[in-house]
Structure 1
Amino acid sequence: MVALQRKAYSRFEFWKQHKSKQALLVTGARQVGKTFLIREFMKANYSNVVEINLADDAAARRSFAAAEDADDLMLRISVAASTRLVPRETAIFFDEIQECLSVMRHIKQLVDKGDYDFILSGSLLGVKLEGVDTLPGGYLTQVEMFPLDFEEFCWANGLPQKAWEKARESCLAHVPVVDFIHEQLMKLFHRYLLVGGMPDAVNAFLKSGTIDQVRVVQSEIIRVYKRDIAQYAPKTHRLVIQNIYDLVPSELTGTSKRFKFSSIENVKRFNQVTDEFLWLINADVAIATYNATEPKHPLLISKNDNRFKLFYSDVGLLTSTFIKRASIDLLDGGTSMNIGGVYENAVAQELNSHGFATYYCANKRLGELDFVTERANGDVLVFEVKSGSSYRTHASLTRALNDPGNGISQAFVLAETNVEVYGDVTYLPIYAVAMFHIDD
């Protein structure tokens, strides 16, 4: 596996440089590259490393669970470690921490002593790390990892950083991107729709340059997710959870793209399946974009928990469920198939990984706005996503902007185009969603 450049790495470095008495907790769904990146980080920053996988090492798991206090746990770690513990020089890495949450209870005391650096990694599949929430504040620095975002995908494919920076500068200044950079980014974005950001899938693409091996990897990741549903989800919910996960692609190719609960066998209302949806969302394998009835800050006030669009956490996993022939349309930005849901999945994924909470706005007065979100300063941003050539037609967005009672700060249409500005609407290339960050 190639050491892909990941943004999370700089956050690991920041933790090491600025921590006082804190452990590093790395979370995220399976297969997003947590363990690999932590190993690369430890290799570069520590002369001595201890790694204990709590899913694979049953003996260590039983031993740690029996620890009476922090000193007892430290003794048990020293016994389980395959290398000698050297104070001030050793990183102790607990992988799959959700398999032995009792370790979390002693982290405060262990980091207080300051003898070793502790790194923990956990996937949220089937087990929400509720123990984290009960720890006193200040003893954990949490970094959530996602699939590669589009910028990281561009790095992997050799796009010069200066080209990315030039494009971002143009998009944020609302001026056209230089043609040759724009064309390269559009080409890469269409490939990103097929490959997605799962590291193994990206590496398969970089190695082969074809889609076949990529789809093999993606199919295996989906099988892993389904095995986790079968193993970790509550027994009474497993079949429904898997049914919901399998329905996502067909729901996104529908007209409204909103998940219809009636699509689930014997289900008519959301309260019948609330726990099942939350399991997928908390496991980080699905992203929910909830309905907000008004495009006003704070959006949370008008949030409707019972209506939402459900996306896969990785757009490549979504497109891997389609027949391979559909890849022709995705590669060329064609419109002979309904690819609007694919574009929306990519947008939801990008905004989610950049810290935005995503909503869609739907009411009888306005119609529907694809994505409504807000920056850290409260500015409300609207993104309409257009996969076809008629991207300047957007009746709902026009009505929303013409209503002075709405609180929209900026309105964007993401489409197969370069940057254009007409009135209050800025038209951006679809890849430009990757250039928005919540703190900008």
Structure 2
Amino acid sequence: MMKVHIEREIDKVLLDWKNQIDRKPLMLRGARQVGKSTAVQELSKHFDYYIEINFEESLDVQAFFNGNLDPKTICENLSLYFNTPIIPGKTLLFFDEIQMCLPAISSLRFFYEKMPALHLISAGSLLEFALEQLPSFGVGRVRSVFVYPFSFDEFLGSLGEQRLINLKKQASPTNPLALPFHQKLTEYFKKFLIVGGMPEAVAQYAKGSSLLEVQAVLDDLIISIKADFAKYKKRVPSMRISEVFDAIIQQTGGKFIYTKAATQTSIVQIKEAVQLLMMAGLVIPVTHSSANGIPLGAELDEKKRKLILLDTGLYQRILGLDAGKLLAQNDFDAINKGAIAEMFVGLEYLKYGNPLQQENLYYWHRENANSNAEIDYVIQQGEQIVPLEIKASNKGAMQSMFMFLKEKKRDLGIRLSLENFSTYPPIDVYPLYAISTVRKE
């Protein structure tokens, strides 16, 4: 049976790149199995010729990158090897799993300088490890595109709910959705927490499989992810990385405490394992910012850092959350203290950002004997800093929000919950499923 392609925002990004007059070779960056290769294969339909080289599988092709990195010579060899013409403007050349061939990464800059008309894309699942060894491989000559799992809007699109997406985009705190549409989106949101955004899981659900069948797909993905730990680095055993990975899952929602991560491992090894997991794109940091001004990254305290997994589907499956309760209840606090809702918001915020920039997530926390306060996320909207407070239900006080607004002299806060769009100045309320609207304000 022919595999059906589900349209994604990355498809538009790649098509825009194809049509640019002045373009650079692209490097798709992101965790394994988030859809990088599929997006390039879809783009290839717009070319007369297509060559895909997987450096993990085609070890013999690596010989073409030994010694001379002249693009013309490389293309002549590849054209003969694959029996396919390489013609600038007509051929798409794709270097997949490029981290397996460091000279191929180095060659990208020469393609930009000597064959700028050729459409060349590279990608890799453990690419950051290779780039660490080549810190200046193509500064200014290669354009990075950051790829994440499916967003909630892309999930809705996979289910043919474009009209529902459009309705959601038209809603605002002063123009709430009609209750039936809000309820329908809320139910989809709960299902998305379970399915997550990994392309294989979304495709399985979109073709009509049950949530139980999707859980089996997620189990396979988890096994594959953990098997990759052995490829990371020799200085941290894969068993230690696995222990730290599980600790991150358990500590989601709070500041990560290294001493609780692995009892038989040194703090140095735990920190190294965390860094490796972040480089692999599996774990995303949320760092404390004083939030006194922009950019938010100017006043960081890396000793205060939360860590979240890249996907809610994988998260709920590893943690063993009750999927039935996620669907049935309107209070996630009773399930896992609301951590999955907080995690969802951070991930969605990144997915709707600029794919040409690697963005960071920030939160604010003040520890005081008399006035302890925490804001789940602080974001920048134009020249303003806006606090986001997540409620994993449709109720809850906002003492931390008001404390932040008063202390920082800010006049707008955003609350995300299971409520419909509404406003209680100076607080605007958005449903959890509407992060894309928050992002575009």
TM-score relative to the length of structure 2: 0.89
Q: Deviations over 1:151-197 (max 9, x none)?
A: 10111111124x323322322x5331222221221111111000011
Which deviates the most, 150-159 or 58-67?
A: 58-67
Preserved contact between residue 31 and residue 280 of structure 2 (Cα < 8 Å): yes
1:80 Cα deviation from its structure 2 partner: 2.9
Q: Which residue of 2 aligns with 1:321?
A: 318
1:1-150 correspondence runs (5 A): 1-43=3-45, 45-111=46-112, 112-114=114-116, 116-124=118-126, 127-130=129-132, 133-150=135-152
Write the distance in 2 (CA, Å) between the matches of 1:31 and 1:39. 14
1:407: Cα distance to partner? 5.1
State whether structure 2 residue 356 is matched by structure 1 residue 344: no
Give the deviation of 1:414 after TM superposition: 0.8
Counterpart contact for 1:125–1:228, Cα < 8 Å: no
- For the residues of structure 1 that align with 2:402 and 2:374, how far apart are their CA atoms? 11
Please list the CA deviations of residues 225-253 of structure 1 after superposition, one character each: whole Å capped at 9, or x if unmatched.
2111112233435333221211223212x
Query: Is the counterpart of residue 258 in structure 1 residue 255 in structure 2?
Result: yes
Query: 2:424 and 2:265 mapped to 1: Cα distance?
Result: 43
| Identical pairs, percent | 24
Matched AA of 2:336: N
SS at match of 2:57: coil
Distance 2:233 2:35 in 1: 23
Partner of 2:188: 188
Separation in structure 2 between the aligned mates of residue 84 and residue 223 of structure 1, nearest angstrom: 39
Cα 1:142–1:214 change in 2 (3 A) is: same
CA distance in 2, matches of 1:74, 1:422: 62
Please say which of residues 217-226 and 173-182 is displaced more in the overlay: 173-182
CA contact (8 A) 1:30 1:125 kept: no
Query: CA 1:167 to 1:302, structure 2 compared with 1: closer, same or farther past 3 Å?
Result: same
Matched, 1:374 2:372: no
Alignment match, 1:281 = 278
Question: How far did 1:269 drift?
Answer: 8.9
Does structure 2 conserve the Cα–Cα contact (< 8 Å) formed by 1:386 and 1:414? yes
**Structure 1 79/433 Cα, relative in aligned 2: closer, same or farther at 3 Å?**
same
Decide whether the 8 Å contact of 1:32 with 1:198 is kept in 2: yes
More displaced 10-residue stretch of structure 1: 362-371 or 183-192:
362-371
Q: Normalised by the size of structure 1, how large is the TM-score?
A: 0.90
* Cα shift readout 1:372-392 (whole Å, capped 9, x = no counterpart): 1213x332121111113433x
Alpha-carbon distance in 2 for matches of 1:388, 1:235:
43
Distance 1:125 1:246, change over 3 A: farther
1:187-226 mapped onto 2 (5 Å cutoff) = 187-226=187-226
Question: Secondary structure, in 3 states, of the residue corresponding to 2:236?
Answer: helix
Offset at 1:71? Answer: 3.9
* 1:425 equivalent in structure 2: 427
The structure 2 residue matched to 1:383, chosen from 378, 382, 388, is: 388
**Residue identity matched to 2:76:** L
What's the offset of the Cα at 1:271?
Answer: 5.6
Q: Does 1:157 align with 2:152?
A: no
Unpaired segments ≥5 residues, structure 2:
354-358
Instruction: Report how far residue 286 of structure 1 moved.
Output: 0.9
Q: Distance in 2 between matches of 1:15 and 1:115?
A: 12
CA contact (8 A) 1:26 1:145 kept: yes
Q: Structure 1 regions of 5+ residues with no counterpart?
A: none
Task: Tell me if the contact between 2:98 and 2:127 (Cα under 8 Å) persists in the aligned partners.
Answer: no
CA–CA separation in structure 1 for the residues paired with 2:291 and 2:86: 57
Correspondence for 2:352: 354
SS at match of 2:123: strand
Question: Do 2:69 and 2:107's aligned partners in 1 also have CA atoms closer than 8 Å?
Answer: no
Counterparts of 1:177 and 1:69 in 2: how far apart (Å)?
58
Q: Structure 2: how far apart are the matches of 1:408 and 1:242?
A: 42
Q: Which residue of 1 aligns with 2:328?
A: 332
Shift of 1:352: 1.8
Name the CA distance, whole Å, in 2 between partners of 1:82 and 1:306. 54
The 1:57–1:141 alpha-carbon spacing in structure 2 relative to 1, beyond 3 Å, is same
The CA RMSD over aligned residues, in Å, is: 2.4
- Maintained 8 Å contact 1:54/1:94: yes
